[in-house]
Homo-oligomer: A and B are copies of this chain.
Amino acid sequence: MRLNWGMVGGGEGSQIGPAHRLGAQADGLFTLAAAALDADAAKGRAYAERLGVAPDRAYGDWREMLERERGRDDRVQLVTIATPNATHFEITKAFLEAGFHVLCEKPMTMSVEEGEEIVRVARASGRVCAVNYCYSAYPMVREMRAMVARGDLGRIRLVVTHFSHGHHADAANADNPRVRWRYDPAMAGISGQFADCGIHALHMASFILGDEVAKLSADFAATIESRVLEDDAMVNFRMGRGTVGRLWSSSVAIGRQHGFDIQVFGETGGMRWASEQPNQVFWTPLGGRTQIMEKGEAGLSEAAARLSRVPIAHPEGFPLAVANIYVDLASAIRGGAQDGLPQAKDGLRSVAAVAAAVESARASGAWTDARPPMFR
């Protein structure tokens, strides 16, 4: 039986909205039953109806949706929140308190305090509060995590990760509102490129290693004059168990399209994954040759195998990584097992790391505690 699902935000023209709809529907696990898709109520209602939502559940705003849905027997069981960043806190909190399961886009909140509040509310609610760090749901990323967990690499010495692109490199286009907001503290908050992309890479390091980022040192630069917030960031870090970390993130790297990759080096092996070729891992055992691991090959861990739909070398891409988040959500909502779903505590850790990086960058790279106070 399908679960009823609702969306807040992600309306027409949104980039992430289609990925959520595809992700929720691809495996037939969720039906889009209610939605408040747009700040423009009429536009949002009309689009929801075009997407097949019944007219009485095509809402004008999230408050209306929350009020009406909470009273229904067939209320949506999961709400996806894909609104502007500054609103995530309020909406997530409200839906959790009303007893809905929530999948929130990143960043979960704009401040560490808000992040800690969401963690507390989620705990109290007994509901799932997930955050969409969807890259972690690629089968081969799950495989890397399983490899680390079972000790294939021994102690992890080093993790090196990049998330760089060049889509904001055109100075002549820097005042375009779709680009500009990202570097304007009034709209983006305290961080630009690092909070936008780099944080995915930092989450991935924690995810694969099963370890937390303990402290960090950041070097931020705004390479286009009109920008206040950084468009290029380098973050050195140390993890709880001592692993050395290196993270570079940029939005002025012309020629990089979606340059998100990660390399993990341990005592007995190293491995590499890249988001533009997400179905492969290059794995090198100490003293041996590099091997190309393929999604769907025989002998992968259950954690990876269960998230793949088509045979080896039939590529599965980004929308199905999002779908894998929904696979885990469906299981979690039904009280079943899930393994790897990013949750409120992960969202909080990311928010705290961004705050620490900003503080460090302002202090010429001083090493700064990256943990949220409630987890120190």
Residues of A that sit less than 8 Å from B by CB: 1-2, 15, 18-19, 21-22, 25-28, 32, 51-52, 157-158, 160, 165-166, 169-171, 217, 219, 221, 223-224, 232, 234, 236, 244, 246, 248, 250, 252-258, 263, 265-267, 269-272, 275-279, 282-287, 289-294, 297-298, 309-320, 364-367
Contact = CB atoms under 8 A, between A and B. Distances in A.
A311 B255 contact: no
B309 A18 contact: yes
A60 to B, nearest CB: 22
A315 B318 contact: yes
Given A313-B257, A317-B316, A252 B367 contact: no
Nearest to A50: B1
Nearest to A220: B244
26 contacts: A1-B52, A15-B311, A26-B26, A157-B223, A157-B224, A160-B250, A166-B265, A170-B286, A170-B287, A171-B267, A219-B236, A232-B244, A234-B234, A246-B248, A253-B263, A254-B265, A255-B265, A255-B272, A257-B313, A289-B293, A291-B292, A310-B318, A310-B319, A315-B315, A316-B317, A319-B320
A253 B223 CA distance: 30
Contacts of A265: 166, 169, 250, 252-255
A278 B310 contact: no
B232 A276 contact: no
A296 B18 CA distance: 14
Given A27-B22, A248-B246, A284-B254, A291 B291 contact: yes
A316 B315 CA distance: 8
Contacts of A255: 263, 265, 269-272, 282-284, 290
Candidate in A244, A283, A365, A367 with the most chain B CB atoms within 10 angstroms? A244
Nearest to A250: B158
Contacts of A25: 25-28
A55 to B, nearest CB: 13
A260 to B, nearest CB: 9
Nearest to A224: B157
A221 B277 CA distance: 30
Nearest to A360: B365
Given A236-B365, A275-B315, 8 more contacts: A22-B26, A25-B27, A26-B26, A28-B51, A158-B253, A160-B250, A258-B313, A289-B297
Contacts of A266: 254
Contacts of A170: 286-287
A316 to B, nearest CB: 4
A224 B157 CA distance: 8
B160 A278 contact: no
A310 B17 CA distance: 10
A314 B317 contact: yes
A24 B229 CA distance: 43
Nearest to A157: B223
Ranked nearest first, the 7 interchain pairs of A and B with the lowest CB-CB distance are A255-B284, A258-B313, A254-B270, A257-B313, A315-B317, A255-B270, A157-B223
B315 A276 contact: yes
A52 B31 CA distance: 11
Contacts of A366: 364-365
Contacts of A287: 170, 298
A306 to B, nearest CB: 13
